[in-house]
Amino acid sequence: MTDLKNNFFLIERAGIHTTFQDNGRQNLNHIGIPVSGVMDKRNYILANSLLKKEQNSAVLEFAYQGPLLKYTGKKIYVAVTGNVQFQIVKNNGETINGEAYRVYLIEDKDQIDIQSTFSSVYGYLAISEDFELDKIWNSISTNTKAKIGSNNGEKLSNDQKIYINHNNRDRALTKLNYVNSKINYLRVITATNFDYFLEKSKKIFFNETFTISKLTDRMGMRLEGHNIENFKNTNIKSEGIVKGVIQVASDGNPIIMLADHGTIGGYPKIANVISADFDRLAQLVPGTKIKFQEVSLEEAEKLYEIYNLETNNLVNQII
């Protein structure tokens, strides 16, 4: 009989916010359950694709400082994606400087030390085998605010073990050349309460530069710099919200809804970030200065098509 507990990572350092994620859970907003799922979809897809995993496979998502993982078990392959600085410390003491978008072989007692992401927030670690996790509402994603999902709805903590279901998969030590692009402006479509705001405020919204504040997490991103004054009503009747919605709180500061956002909200919505910009939006670090640019619905749809095409082209480049 095989012991299922033979293959695992010991978390020697958990990092700042390391969670299990996949594409999240759908069709549950009506009972108040957020979607969750990865913050940067393209980097998630690339991590799984490098290891020829099925899409929607579980990965570890980390923010800023990542985890230090010590492996015990039969050999596995791993891939890290994002702008990530990391090292692999082999069991003989040899240290390899890690490259993102490259497949590495990990053997018994090797360590993966994910030191940090640079000029971005999130990175991903995928493995050739399967993390041992239970799906809750068809997803393994962890939402730490709602306490739902893998690891009892919590981020990883020091000294815990994460187990791996080993199926002896062999993988090519392939790599991909990819550089994450950046944005200086977020493209948006004006939203349902756009006319609640003063003409002056609309101008400020589209002409001025905003700063990403430190009050930013998987739920939402607060922006600072300019007050968006509202002349109609600073509260609306609570209604459903979606990812990318920019609500303006009563203090006049915009908040952009991200993956773990609550299902309903009561602040007026001025605009919506377009789907094609979600990945790069999530990667904006606090302190970054950005501007908003208006696009039409048709342009947004076209840009999303291009975004998907680019992702597929990258996936197809992996041999």
Sites for another protein among residues 282-301 (CB under 8 A): 297, 300-301
Quick note: the x/- pattern for another protein over 228-267, rule CB under 8 A, is ---------xxxxxx-xx----------------xxx---
Whether 129 contacts 76, CB under 8 Å: yes
Q: For another protein, give the closer residue by CB, 211 or 263.
A: 263
Q: Under the criterion CB under 8 A, does residue 204 sit at the interface with another protein?
A: no
Identify the helix (H) or strand (E) that includes residue 257: strand 254-257
Q: For another protein, give the closer residue by CB, 157 or 235.
A: 235
Quick note: the x/- pattern for another protein over 38-77, rule CB under 8 A, is ----------------------------------------
Give the whole-angstrom CA distance, residue 108 versus residue 111.
9
Q: For another protein, give the closer residue by CB, 70 or 269.
A: 269
Sites for another protein among residues 116-155 (CB under 8 A): 136-137, 146-148
| Least distance to another protein, CB of residue 265, Å | 8
CA torsion 130-135-141-146 (nearest 10°) is -150
What 174-177 contacts at long range (C-beta under 8 Å, 24+ apart), as own/partner pairs, is: 174/50, 174/102, 174/103, 174/318, 174/319, 175/50, 175/99, 175/101, 175/102, 175/103, 176/46, 176/50, 176/101, 176/102, 176/314, 176/317, 176/318, 177/101, 177/317
Q: For another protein, give the closer residue by CB, 209 or 238.
A: 238
Give the whole-angstrom CA distance, residue 69 versus residue 138.
27
Q: Which of 33, 45, 112, 121 binds another protein (CB under 8 A)?
A: 33
Give the whole-angstrom CA distance, residue 243 versus residue 219.
9
Q: For another protein, give the closer residue by CB, 158 or 233.
A: 233
Q: For another protein, give the closer residue by CB, 215 or 297.
A: 297
Q: For another protein, give the closer residue by CB, 114 or 245.
A: 245
Region from 21-29, 45-53, 112-120, 200-208 binding another protein, contact rule CB under 8 A = 21-29
What 53-57 contacts at long range (C-beta under 8 Å, 24+ apart), as own/partner pairs, is: 53/126, 53/128, 55/23, 56/22, 56/23, 57/22, 57/126, 57/130
| Least distance to another protein, CB of residue 308, Å | 6
Give the whole-angstrom CA distance, residue 227 versus residue 234.
13
Region from 47-55, 58-66, 110-118, 268-276 binding another protein, contact rule CB under 8 A = 268-276
What phi and psi values does residue 30 have, to the nearest 5 degrees?
Answer: -70, -15
Q: Give the footprint of another protein on this chain (CB under 8 A).
A: 26-33, 35, 136-137, 146-148, 189, 191-192, 237-242, 244-245, 262-264, 269, 272-275, 297, 300-301, 304, 308
